Amino acid sequence: MYDLLIKGGRVCDGSGLPSYLGDVAVQNGRIAEVGRVDGGAERVIDAGGLAVSPGFIDFHTHLDAQLLWDPIATSSCWHGITTVIPGNCGLTLAPCRPQDRESTLGSFVRVEAMPLQVLKSAVNWEWETFPEYLNRLDGKLGVNVAALVGHCALRQYVMGDAACEREATDDEIERMKNILKESMRAGAIGFSTNQNPVHMRSDGRPIPSRLAAKREILELAGVLGDLSRGSVQISVGTPGIAVPAEEAVAWFNRIAARAGRPVVWQSIAHRWDQPSLYRQLLDLAEKGQAEGVPSYPLCNARLFNNRFNLKNAQVFDDLPTWKETLFKPLDARIERFRDPELRMKLRSEAVENNFRSRFSRRWDLVYMIKAASAKNKPLERKSVAEIAALQGKEVIDAFLDLSLEEGLETMFQTSSTNGDESAVAEILRSPHTLVGQSDAGAHLIYDAGYGYATRFLGHWIRERNVMGLEEGVRKLTSMVASIFGLHDRGLIRPGMAADLVLFDPDTVGDSEPEMVSDLPGGEKRLVQKAKGIQMTLVNGEVLTEAGKHSGALPGRVLGKR
Ligand SMILES: [Zn+2]
């Protein structure tokens, strides 16, 4: 008698092999049998018409705090995610001494844009060490958690506020190494570090990991090498922008070679201001991997949307006349937008010119998303290029006339990153990239990236056909599990943990984010629902069914011994 029997689904087992019609039996939290399975079960689930795949593993989250009040990790769990990895970008809530709590939260507030009052009220500091933090989570989780140790927390713990001021001494490095080792032994799955030059705490000081010398990072990565366990996650800002591309990738590869452990680096995306950078980075990633270095770039299946109107727009800041105009008071701004001579200048910069700019000059990719007047509602969701064609106008006139007519309140949307679909398809299709950069739990009111997996399966695989479903599932499951050392996850095989997702390949997709007020204290955040995700199972128990939480809390801290 099995606990659960999933009958007649299309099994995409996570390996990338062709899928097959079959059954999956679950017993004691693990996969018991796969293939044609007869025999009784407590519950039989008809998976006819659905794909059955390993649960997706979201490896780039900032859910460290949210998991304390939201054990099922919404919105991630609605998108087929069964395991989340918090502790990215050098930031964790442990280890942390009582006197450092404020500055630790300050990094999350500033770098990850979480409201301070929410963190202060909901983080109750029942821990000091990393093992204590893991104990606080374990037994109270809906999804599985596999946690990285953040370099900022390690530094602050050992060096106090000097962590934001200077390099560490040999003795301090030694102490950090010991704490990292202890955390790894207690169940951490790796270490994260962050030298992004724009990342600051809310007190205006650099986050501690920015002050680390290369030697310190190599020594800490070496701890993972000594243990033969764990992965390193690193960000130095955009390679090719913050640091020359070759230098950045050579550094990531050096860490990976020195420690003999996987390094996951941030990131490859298409940018309008450096349109061939992504290809250079893909080549560099391929070269490193060909040399035998376990160094993997991450990338994202979604574009980074800018929503703006001409009252608050920043997307034109690289264009001098636009910038000058958009910094004028409202009346003067309106006057300038009306002025035919100035319009010629604006047109030349935003339509014709060729100098580098984060703005794409692709007016077919600038969408009007919200009209401020009922009259213009029918134009919503059309691109400015389409609107111009409908009205028989030049794009610049269509854009400015519409905004002027609505007091500059018309909302538009465009993308400075990943806006070129053919480039993004090339990045996603590359065998060298990891897909997923959800930043779940961060940037709560600006952007919602929870749905990278459903977007990948729906938009990129079904609609754009960038790869087969099986290969896509492999990228979301066993590839991630392998790199992060989650060796009993990511595949549907007897003996593996029964983390599963049942979805409809014909409808799976991500929904538009919506603003809700469900944070502690009623604060606002964006949530994102999914389409076509029928069920998720975590450790053999149903976690969500048709988008609803079952009430069960079957998740665990992975790696704990
Ligand atoms: Zn991050």
How much distance in Å is there from the Cα of 86 to the middle of ligand 1?
9
Report pLDDT for 204: 87
For 382-431, where are the alpha helices, taking DSSP H only?
Answer: 384-391, 395-405, 421-429
CB 168 within 8 A of CB 68: no
How much distance in Å is there from the Cα of 193 to the middle of ligand 1?
10
Q: How far is the C-alpha of 484 from the C-alpha of 230, rounded, in Å? A: 7
Q: Report the amino acid identity of residue 346.
A: L
CB 6 within 8 A of CB 26: yes
How much distance in Å is there from the Cα of 160 to the middle of ligand 1?
23
Q: Report the amino acid identity of residue 164.
A: C
Instruction: Tell me whether strands 295-299 and 41-46 are parallel, antiparallel or unpaired.
Output: unpaired
Instruction: Tell me whether strands 190-194 and 148-150 are parallel, antiparallel or unpaired.
Output: parallel
Confidence of residue 261 (pLDDT cuts 50, 70, 90): very high
How much distance in Å is there from the Cα of 85 to the middle of ligand 1?
11
pLDDT tens-digit series, residues 325-363:
999 999 999 999 999 999 999 999 999 988 888 899 999
pTM across the whole model: 0.92
Cis peptide, bond prior to residue 267, ω within 30 of zero: yes
Report pLDDT for 64: 97
Question: Bigger pLDDT: 560 or 503?
Answer: 503
User: What are the beta bridge partners of residue 20?
Assistant: 11
446-473 average pLDDT score: 95
How much distance in Å is there from the Cα of 141 to the middle of ligand 1?
22
How much distance in Å is there from the Cα of 25 to the middle of ligand 1?
36
Least confident of 66-75, 200-209, 501-510: 200-209
How much distance in Å is there from the Cα of 530 to the middle of ligand 1?
22
How much distance in Å is there from the Cα of 109 to the middle of ligand 1?
13
pLDDT tens-digit series, residues 165-187:
999 999 999 999 999 999 999 99
CB 59 within 8 A of CB 86: no
Report pLDDT for 561: 67
Question: Would you state the structure tokens that stand for residue 477, as one six-digit string?
Answer: 């499951």
pLDDT tens-digit series, residues 202-239:
888 999 999 999 999 999 999 999 999 999 999 999 99
Cα–Cα distances (Å) from 317 to 96, 191, 199, 402, 442, in that order, read: 40, 36, 21, 21, 25
How much distance in Å is there from the Cα of 220 to the middle of ligand 1?
19
Q: How far is the C-alpha of 410 from the C-alpha of 424, rounded, in Å? A: 28
443-471 average pLDDT score: 93
User: What are the beta bridge partners of residue 503?
Assistant: 51, 533
User: What are the beta bridge partners of residue 184?
Assistant: none
How much distance in Å is there from the Cα of 43 to the middle of ligand 1?
39
How much distance in Å is there from the Cα of 133 to the middle of ligand 1?
20
Q: How far is the C-alpha of 380 from the C-alpha of 384, rounded, in Å? A: 10
How much distance in Å is there from the Cα of 62 to the middle of ligand 1?
6
**DSSP designation for 62:** -
pLDDT tens-digit series, residues 520-561:
989 899 999 999 999 999 999 999 999 999 999 999 999 986
487-514 average pLDDT score: 97
Taking 80 as the threshold, does the pLDDT of residue 445 lie above it?
no
> Which of these, 454, 460, 461, 552, lies nearest to 503 by C-alpha position?
454
φ, ψ dihedrals at 327, nearest 5°: -95, -5
Q: How far is the C-alpha of 238 from the C-alpha of 436, rounded, in Å? A: 16
Q: How many CB atoms lie within 10 A of CB 197?
A: 12
466-474 average pLDDT score: 98
CB 414 within 8 A of CB 365: yes
R_g of the chain computed on alpha carbons: 24
pLDDT tens-digit series, residues 70-118:
999 999 999 999 999 999 999 999 999 999 999 999 888 888 788 888 9
Report pLDDT for 355: 86
User: CA dihedral in degrees (502, 483, 422, 399; nearest 10)?
Assistant: 80
CB 500 within 8 A of CB 537: yes
How much distance in Å is there from the Cα of 234 to the middle of ligand 1?
9
389-412 average pLDDT score: 96
Give the DSSP letter string of 191-249: EEEE--TT-B-TTSSBPGGGG--HHHHHHHHHHHHHHT--EEEEE-SSBTTTB-HHHHH
Residue keyed to tokens 């929904």: 511
Taking 80 as the threshold, does the pLDDT of residue 446 lie above it?
no
Mean pLDDT, the chain, as a whole number? 95
Report pLDDT for 87: 98
Question: Bigger pLDDT: 26 or 201?
Answer: 26
How much distance in Å is there from the Cα of 398 to the middle of ligand 1?
38
How much distance in Å is there from the Cα of 88 to the middle of ligand 1?
5
How much distance in Å is there from the Cα of 415 to the middle of ligand 1?
19
pLDDT tens-digit series, residues 14-64:
999 999 999 999 999 999 999 999 989 999 999 999 999 999 999 999 999
How much distance in Å is there from the Cα of 235 to the middle of ligand 1?
8
How much distance in Å is there from the Cα of 251 to the middle of ligand 1?
19
pLDDT tens-digit series, residues 120-146:
999 999 999 999 999 999 999 999 999
pLDDT tens-digit series, residues 410-433:
999 998 889 899 999 999 999 999
Q: How far is the C-alpha of 19 from the C-alpha of 33, rounded, in Å? A: 16
Q: List the strands of the sheet with 411-417, edge to edge.
A: 304-308, 411-417, 367-370
